[in-house]
Every structure is written in structure tokens, then in C-alpha cells.
Amino acid sequence: MQLVCPAGNLPALKAAVEAGANAVYAGFRDQTNARAFPGLNFNDDELKAGIAFAHARGAKVYLALNTYPDSVHLPQWHAAVDRAAEFGCDAIIVAEMAVLDYAARTYPTLPRHLSVQGSATTEPALRYAYERFGIARAVLPRVLSIQQVERLCERAPIPLEVFAFGSLCIMVEGRCQLSSYVTGASPNRHGVCSPAKFVRWDEHDDGRRSVRLNDVLIDKFEPAEPAGYPTVCKGRFDVGGEIFHALEEPTSLNTIELIPRLAQAGVAALKIEGRQRGIAYVGAVTKTWRAALDRYRDHPDGWAPDAEGQRTLSAQSEGHQTTLGPYHRAWH
């Protein structure tokens, strides 16, 4: 299985490639990608340098163009496809059908991957994107059970990529409205959940911290309590007189124990989430997954996760805890 790792900037790209990524995914420094945080992503020269670095070491670079333009701004996404083709990207990761259509007509030899933001969870949806836009791969949303992934691998007309580690999104990816409800900025249209300009952290005299999103209280933390990036879905809310994580706990997906089952199902690629995370995260997580995949390749019988590797992943996890998420739910 191919290991696909995040590259939020050029140093992170280099760290991922040097740690053993088969491919990295990156975005331009604008709202054409779904991690449009200030200080992240690539300008043209940086992306060219990153592609040259990766290709010299046998790795691929995929460009994320995975947000939804409106009709007025569609030419900006078309121009991004043009640059991806010109610079030599190995594939583009696209959610919006108009962008897929433009790429298929204009650059038929440029591989097109259907983004997780495309929310394709059924065989007919995958077949439509394949027959209409000639996609070469699809990234499955993080809401499917392992049994559903296995069935799709049997029936899909194209190879499938699944999220293996990182922030867990339980929303219908490509359709989330929570951030736009609070801030007016949609993650699907503007490229970021909880834009930084709307986030405010308050330090209190007793050491506690509270965080607000556009003046809406999202969470409060005790002095030693880990705090992740504040999104509405991972906030704590007063529901029926009880305060708890009503939608989703701040925890990271970790499917490393499922490597044998995902491989046997025919999954083509494992994706590490985290373009907004630092070089230390990218390097440590990529190295750990590379070692685990290599061990499984060399000795599949009796393979089991490495305890030290699991500790490394837990230390890099959101809230310092991990979950199998929907992969292991009893109903599917």
C-alpha cells in the first residue's frame, strides 16, 4: 500500500519524503485547498522545488484542489489545474465536478483523484466519477466501517485510498456547515475550519484557559489539560444540564492495527492527515508508518503493531488519545 503523507510547507514535504513517504499532498497558498491556514501551503517556486526534491527521491506529489468554488471564482481553480500540470504534479485531488471536468478535458493525461471532500461512499458514486471524469483514484470519507471499505474495494472501478492516521472528521465531508454557521466562512468554500482570525484564547488567573470562535465559547480547559485546535464539532456543550463533547472528542484516528485487513481488502493507499501540523509530527508519524508497512510487507504472518510505534503515534495524537473511529463500529 502506498503511504501518502501531508506537506503543509516545503520543510514538511522534505521531512515526509526523507521519512519514507511514497507520495505527499500539498496545496497552493489560497482557498483552492481545504487547509488554507495563514503560513501554510506553497507558492509556485516552493511547489516546483518540492516536486523536484520528491521526484529525485522516487516520491510523488499530489496537489489538493479540494474545495468548492462558486461560479464567479471558478477560473481561479482552473488556473490552479493549469499550474499543477505545468509544474509536473503527479496527480490532482479534486472534489468539485466542474474542476474535474475542466481537468479531464484540458489535461487528460494528468491523473485525477476524487477528494474525500467529494463524499463518495457508494459504488454508484465512485462509478459515476470514474465514467464521467476518468478519475484514477478516490479517497474515501472517514465515516465508513471496515466492512463498508472492504465491500467498496471489491466493487469500485478504481483504486481506493483511506485515511489511516490523524484528525478524525465525523461530519459528512464536503458538506460540513458547522464552521460557517459560527463564522460565516465555510471550510468547503473558504478552505479552513475555524479560521484563525475568529479564534480567541483567554488565559485566566487560576491557569485555566478558554477558547472562543467568533465570540462563541467553544471550550474551557484545566491548567494541565491538552487542548487541540478549536472546531465546533470538537467543542464541549451544555446539553440537558450536562457539559460534554456532544459531537466528537478531540482524538486522532489510528488504524495501524488494521494494516493487514486493509491490505487484504485491496486498499491502494493509506493517507496521513495533518497539513496544518509541524515538521516533528510529519517526520515521526511518517517514519512510524513506514516501518510498520515495511514489516508487514516482509513478514505478513503474525504481524502486530509495534508498542514503541504506538507510543509515538499516541504522543502525536490530538488530545494524546487515539481511536479506530467508525472503522470498528458495531453497526455498518
Domain final residue pick, 209, 225, 244? 244
In a domain, 175, yes or no: no
DSSP per-residue letters across 150-177: HHHHHH-SS-EEEEEEEE---S-TT---
Whole-angstrom distance, CA of residue 167 vs CA of residue 311: 17
Q: Which secondary-structure segment (H or E) carries 6?
A: strand 2-6
For residues 152 and 214, state if they share a domain.
no
Single out the residue of 315, 297, 298, 299 nearest to residue 307, CA to CA: 315
* Residues 6 or more apart in contact with residue 297 via CB below 8 angstroms: none
Q: Which residues pair with 237 in a beta bridge?
A: 244
Q: Which residues pair with 6 in a beta bridge?
A: 25
Whole-angstrom distance, CA of residue 312 vs CA of residue 285: 8
- Please state, for a pLDDT cut of 70, what percent of the chain lies above it: 98
Domain final residue pick, 244, 260, 281? 244
Tens-place pLDDT, residues 136-159: 999 999 889 999 999 999 999 999
Whole-angstrom distance, CA of residue 100 vs CA of residue 295: 37
pLDDT of 195 reads 85
Find out whether 36 and 275 touch, Cβ atoms under 8 Å: no
Find out whether 84 and 92 touch, Cβ atoms under 8 Å: yes
**What region, left, alpha or beta, does residue 174 occupy, with left being phi > 0 and alpha being psi -120 to 50 degrees?**
left
pLDDT of 210 reads 95
For residues 240 and 296, state if they share a domain.
no
For residues 46 and 106, state if they share a domain.
yes
Average pLDDT over residues 265-286: 96
Q: What is the pTM of this model?
A: 0.91
pLDDT of 330 reads 63
Report the interhelical angle of 307-315 vs 279-298 (nearest 10°). Answer: 160
Q: Which residues pair with 25 in a beta bridge?
A: 6, 62
Single out the residue of 71, 153, 179, 169 nearest to residue 117, CA to CA: 169
For residues 293 and 150, state if they share a domain.
yes
Is the confidence at residue 332, as pLDDT, over 60?
A: no
For residues 106 and 224, state if they share a domain.
no
Single out the residue of 2, 3, 19 nearest to residue 279, CA to CA: 19
Alpha-helix runs per DSSP H in 272-329: 279-298, 307-315
For residues 324 and 273, state if they share a domain.
yes
For residues 160 and 270, state if they share a domain.
yes
Average pLDDT over residues 246-261: 89
For residues 265 and 235, state if they share a domain.
no
In a domain, 220, yes or no: yes
User: Which structural domain, as residue segments, surrounds residue 201?
Assistant: 185-244
CA gyration radius, the chain: 19
Tens-place pLDDT, residues 31-50: 999 888 888 999 999 999 99
In a domain, 177, yes or no: no
- Classify residue 78 as exposed, middle or buried by CB count within 10 Å of its CB (0-12, 13-18, 19+): middle
For residues 89 and 40, state if they share a domain.
yes
For residues 112 and 75, state if they share a domain.
yes
Cα 22 to Cα 55, 254, 272, distances in angstroms: 10, 19, 12
Is the confidence at residue 281, as pLDDT, over 90?
A: yes
Q: Which residues pair with 93 in a beta bridge?
A: 64, 113
Weakest-pLDDT range from 86-95, 204-213, 246-255: 246-255
Is the confidence at residue 191, as pLDDT, over 80?
A: no
Q: How many domains, in total, are found in the chain? A: 2
Lookup result for grid cell 488494521: 258
Average pLDDT over residues 64-86: 96
Select the highest-mean-pLDDT range: 177-181, 230-234, 276-280, 285-289.
Answer: 285-289
| CATH number of the domain encompassing residue 154 | 3.20.20.70
In a domain, 134, yes or no: yes
For residues 240 and 209, state if they share a domain.
yes
Average pLDDT over residues 76-82: 98
**For all residues of the chain together, what is the average pLDDT?**
92
